Amino acid sequence: MEAFALVLAALLTVLCVVFVARPLLRPARSAEGREELDPGEQLRVRALERRDRALAALKELEFDHRTGKVSDEDYRALVGPLRQEAAQALRELQHEDRPEREVKADVHG
Amino acid sequence: MPELGRAALVAALGLIVYAVVAGAYAAWRGRRRLLDSATNALFAAFAAAGVASLVLLAALARNDFSLDYVARLTSRELPTGYTLAAFWSGQEGSLLLWLLVLTGAASVALALNRRLVREVLPWTVAIVGGVALFFAFLLVFIASPFDTQVAPADGAGMNPSLQNPYMIAHPPMLYLGYVGLTIPFAFAMAALASRRVDERWIVVTRRWTLAAWTFLGFGILLGAKWAYEEVGWGGWYAWDPVENAALMPWLVATAFLHSVMVQEKKDMLRVWNVVLVAGAFALSLFGTFLTRSGVISSIHSFTQSSIGPFFLGFIAVVAAFSIVMIVTRLPQLRSKTRMESLLSREAAFLYNNLFLVALALTILWGVIYPLVSEAVRGVAVSVGAPYYDFFAVVFGLPLVLLMGIGPVVAWRRASLHSLVRQLAWPAGVALAVGGLLLAGGAGSSPAGLIGYTLGAFVLTTIVLEFVRGTRARKSIGTAGGGWWSAFSGLVARNRRRYGGYVVHAAIVLLLVGAVGIGGFSSSREARLAPGESTQVGDYRVVYTGSSQERGANAQEVRANLDVYRGEELVGTMQAGKNRYFAEEQTSNEVGIRTDWLRGEDLFVIADRFYGDGSVQLDVIVNPLVNLIWLAGLVFVLGSVVAMWPDAREQRRLAQRFAGEGALARA
């Protein structure tokens, strides 16, 4: 029984080593190396987050207004800034091809 | 085959060490192939932990008493279900279960999100591997379930109080909760380490957090059901330190599930959210430490062991690591958005968070104060139920009130006028219910009366939310015109909100049940000879005599009882004691007769059997207690609704993150 257990243990070890080593045996891609954060991509994701957030808030505001949770007066006061936020995020998304220096300044600033 | 079990654990340890080192190096140097290799190492560690688990289960099934673990916890006469459940009823086995569930959960989380941001995954592998490393280290060097000995003729058997069906399900549920909290922790810290503090880690871990929270909550209720049936004192929750150990991370995770919505909607509370995720995880480790170390005296805790200092050291490392990560990333985490009004949904969530965290910290202080007192002053003190009950009321009732107000407050800001209009119906119904209860004599428990009144307030708010929402969707006309399609469309379009309302309803049911048993139960102790009876509430219990029979692994003595309501015989029941052969211990086996229509239990404890044939009975009527268990089912239902995948949301998120590889599954 002990010998059988040792054979199984050795088999388990070999399988694990092969499974773990397999990715290292494939050819390296040219892109291998530390991935620096792409400031432009980061800005794009943030702008998309802002857009999604503003659009979701607008939908929710409309629904809350319809259910009576938000009064007409509150609705009028809130809907304008939300539309501006969504428009601002959409404008940012349309300006993704700005110069890299400008983009980095936005990210770090 | 203990050799195979030991070898599998050593293999798991080696693989996890490799995953941590390779994952960290891949993160530092950006090596994709190394990341894939490190991820594979975690998958393989799961397989190795699985092999070790199968070896232990096989040893339990075969009554292989050459394993010290099997001999300590089982016996030949122990029923098979409990024999297999011994896997997690001892310290070493439960640590193995931790490792198995953790590596399994990590493997699933990594596999589902493999195509997600490349900068976060290597750190996630390293961090989740770091947690797994701790448990693998304990299993290999400190507390191995595969220690061998000369096999005795029979094992020592299992603690009788653990021989209960709920005890088979309760610990794995808690582990799924505890371990599940590792995943959001690992992704949150990895996001900080890689400076990716956008919403990605929240999107990835949202369902993991919900699932872990659901398992933890349901596990707590299963434990309460076990305590109610098995411990036999007539209650369901005793503020035992180990019960509290599971409640604390659940409360903090509850706070996180609310505050994370503020981050998603308003881009606020980003620091607070990572603090909550780290806090919930650290508390889950602390809970495991309390159970495993033997530092506290509890019916749940295991015997004294040597792993306590290791656990404390690891908790300190986790806390220090989390603090360093959060502090060094504060500039990226700070939000530019400000709270617009103290009367808004986000403000309500903030208040809810403050009460939840305050309750968790109060409980934490109650748990650690006796330990601190004994360590510092050498004086043993205990913190009893009155302390916890006081703070549960002080923080709990405002929380219930907020459950009723929060849903009707608009995001950003709400006017007092519209809020008053929205709350008029719930407040009216609540006052009517409170008045009726007062007239019916419920004023004997003021906290209970307030609790029921607030419960009615919350339930009315929830019903109105569904009604108003369905009506609004029907009026939009996109739902096909019918009421049912409007209702289902309403829930399908915002599963988290309406699933959350169902969970709120479950909390109200729990409150009603807890107040019922805590504030309005009645009891009577009586020594009865055969033919004599005792009256409690509407029930008359007649003792007709005792009986004995040999069970699978115990001698079972029972008092046979007839139950009357008025002059009508409504049923029979038994209460008694089991004398376990191998364990040489006696346990109370309470009798419970449930009236589903009233939700109440007739609960009988047979304290003592006398030589003259009489019996000492403790007869209790627990009104509405079954709503607590019903709350557990409603809680799971609400959680499933909230967790259910939303195809529209998946598409939106996939589009958002399309630039960095499609989102595999959120």
Q: Which structure tokens are listed for A106? A: 């936005």
Q: Are B266 and B346 within 8 A, CB to CB?
A: yes
How far is B305 from B294, CA to CA, in rounded Å?
Answer: 6
Range of the domain at B436: 415-520+627-636
Nearest to B169 by CA among B82, B238, B75, B289: B82
pLDDT range class, residue B666, cuts 50, 70, 90? very low
pLDDT range class, residue B288, cuts 50, 70, 90? confident
Same domain, B527 and B515: no
Q: Are B372 and B381 within 8 A, CB to CB?
A: no
Q: Would the CB atoms of B472 and A66 count as touching at under 8 Å? A: yes
pLDDT in tens, B155-184: 888 888 888 888 889 989 998 999 999 999
- Chain B positions touching A103 (Cβ under 8 A) are none
pLDDT of B116 reads 64
Q: Report the share of chain B in percent with pLDDT over 90.
A: 65
Q: Does A24 touch chain B (CB under 8 A)?
A: yes
SS3 per-residue string spanning B159-190: CHHHCCHHHHHHHHHHHHHHHHCHHHHHHHHH
Provide long-range contacts, Cβ within 8 A and 24+ apart, for B301-310: B301/B241, B301/B242, B302/B90, B302/B91, B303/B91, B305/B91, B305/B143, B306/B142, B306/B143, B307/B91, B307/B95, B307/B138, B307/B142, B307/B143, B310/B134, B310/B137, B310/B138, B310/B142
How far is A85 from B337, CA to CA, in rounded Å?
Answer: 12
- Chain B positions touching A6 (Cβ under 8 A) are 3-4, 7
Q: How many CA atoms lie within 13 A of B349 on its CB side?
A: 26
Per the listing, tokens 């881009």 go with B267
pLDDT in tens, B621-648: 999 999 999 999 999 999 999 999 887 7
pLDDT in tens, B512-551: 999 999 888 999 999 999 999 999 999 999 999 999 999 8
Same domain, B20 and B150: yes
- Residue in chain A nearest B45 by alpha carbon: A16
pLDDT range class, residue B285, cuts 50, 70, 90? very high
Segment among B224-228, B369-373, B390-394 with least mean pLDDT: B369-373
Q: Is residue B239 part of a domain?
A: no
Q: Which residues contact A24 (CB under 8 A, 6 or more apart)?
A: B33, B34, B37
pLDDT in tens, B549-576: 998 888 999 999 999 998 899 999 999 9
Over residues B184-193, mean pLDDT: 94
Mutate to test the interface with A, among B33, B121, B270, B648 (most CBs of A within 10 A): B33
Q: Is residue B93 part of a domain?
A: yes
- Residue that is last in its domain, among B126, B157, B188: B157
Amino acid at A63: F
Same domain, B456 and B528: no
Same domain, B534 and B425: no
pLDDT range class, residue A31, cuts 50, 70, 90? low
How far is B262 from B255, CA to CA, in rounded Å?
Answer: 11
Q: Does A47 touch chain B (CB under 8 A)?
A: no
Calculate how close chain A gets to B470, using CA atoms only, in Å: 9
Q: Is residue B600 part of a domain?
A: yes
Same domain, B427 and B574: no
How far is A19 from A13, CA to CA, in rounded Å?
Answer: 10
Q: Are B197 and B116 within 8 A, CB to CB?
A: no
Buried b (16+ CB within 10 A) or exposed e, B405-415: bbbbbbbbbbb
Helices (H), B377-415: 385-405
pLDDT of B504 reads 97
How far is A80 from B431, CA to CA, in rounded Å?
Answer: 39
pLDDT of B657 reads 66
How far is A80 from A91, CA to CA, in rounded Å?
Answer: 16
- Chain A positions touching B423 (Cβ under 8 A) are none
Same domain, B437 and B526: no
Q: Are B77 and B63 within 8 A, CB to CB?
A: no
Q: Which residue has the higher pLDDT, B410 or B533?
A: B533
pLDDT range class, residue B280, cuts 50, 70, 90? very high
Same domain, B603 and B480: no
Q: Is residue B165 part of a domain?
A: no
pLDDT range class, residue B442, cuts 50, 70, 90? confident
pLDDT of B159 reads 85
Nearest by CB to residue B44, choosing from A20, A52, A64, is: A20
Phi, psi of B547 (to 5 degrees): -145, 160
Nearest to B28 by CA among B163, B119, B108: B119
Same domain, B63 and B84: yes
Q: Would the CB atoms of B40 and A9 count as touching at under 8 Å? A: no
How far is B666 from B649, CA to CA, in rounded Å?
Answer: 9
Q: Are B45 and B103 within 8 A, CB to CB?
A: yes
Angle between helices B120-137 and B2-29 (to 10 degrees): 150
Nearest by CB to residue B48, choosing from A6, A12, A78, is: A12
- Chain A positions touching B48 (Cβ under 8 A) are 12, 16
Same domain, B607 and B495: no
Segment among B468-477, B561-570, B598-607, B637-646 with least mean pLDDT: B468-477
Q: Is residue B501 part of a domain?
A: yes
pLDDT range class, residue B39, cuts 50, 70, 90? very high
Same domain, B457 and B477: yes
Per-residue pLDDT at B303 exceeds 60: no
Nearest to B401 by CA among B353, B437, B451: B451
Calculate how close chain B gets to A85, using CA atoms only, in Å: 12
Per the listing, tokens 């000369």 go with B150
Q: Is residue B194 part of a domain?
A: no
How far is B170 from B162, CA to CA, in rounded Å?
Answer: 10
- Residue that is last in its domain, among B157, B180, B215: B157
Q: Is residue B95 part of a domain?
A: yes
pLDDT in tens, B57-75: 999 999 999 999 999 999 9
Mean pLDDT of chain B: 90
- Chain A positions touching B414 (Cβ under 8 A) are 69-70, 74
Q: Which residue has the higher pLDDT, A5 or B18?
A: B18
Q: How many domains does chain B have?
A: 3
- Chain B positions touching A31 (Cβ under 8 A) are 32
Segment among A48-62, B34-48, B345-359 with least mean pLDDT: A48-62
Q: Which residue has the higher pLDDT, B465 or B231?
A: B465
Over residues B574-589, mean pLDDT: 89
Q: Would the CB atoms of B657 and A45 count as touching at under 8 Å? A: yes
Q: Is residue B65 part of a domain?
A: yes
Q: Would the CB atoms of A46 and B198 count as touching at under 8 Å? A: yes
pLDDT of B300 reads 54
- Residue that is last in its domain, among B157, B176, B194: B157
Calculate how close chain B gets to A76, using CA atoms only, in Å: 12
pLDDT of B304 reads 58
Nearest to B171 by CA among B100, B79, B65, B69: B100
Per the listing, tokens 């609960």 go with B603
pLDDT of B201 reads 86
Cα dist from B419 to B104, B344, B412, B426, whole Å: 47, 10, 13, 11
How far is B642 from B470, CA to CA, in rounded Å?
Answer: 18
Nearest to B504 by CA among B405, B433, B359, B626: B405
- Chain B positions touching A23 (Cβ under 8 A) are 33-34, 36-37, 40
Same domain, B485 and B474: yes
pLDDT range class, residue B663, cuts 50, 70, 90? very low
Cα dist from B184 to A8, B278, B327, B373, B649, whole Å: 35, 9, 19, 34, 20
Nearest by CB to residue B33, choosing from A26, A34, A73, is: A26
What is the ipTM score, two decimals? Answer: 0.76
Calculate how close chain B gets to A58, using CA atoms only, in Å: 11
pLDDT of B665 reads 37
- Chain A positions touching B199 (Cβ under 8 A) are 49
Per-residue pLDDT at B431 exceeds 90: yes
Same domain, B27 and B115: yes
pLDDT in tens, B147-157: 999 989 888 88
Nearest by CB to residue B32, choosing from A29, A41, A50, is: A29
Calculate how close chain A gets to B493, using CA atoms only, in Å: 11
End-to-end CA, chain A: 67
Q: Are B370 and B380 within 8 A, CB to CB?
A: yes
Over residues A61-71, mean pLDDT: 87
Per-residue pLDDT at A43 exceeds 70: yes
Amino acid at B469: G
Cα dist from B29 to B41, B114, B166, B188, whole Å: 19, 18, 49, 20
Per-residue pLDDT at B220 exceeds 50: yes
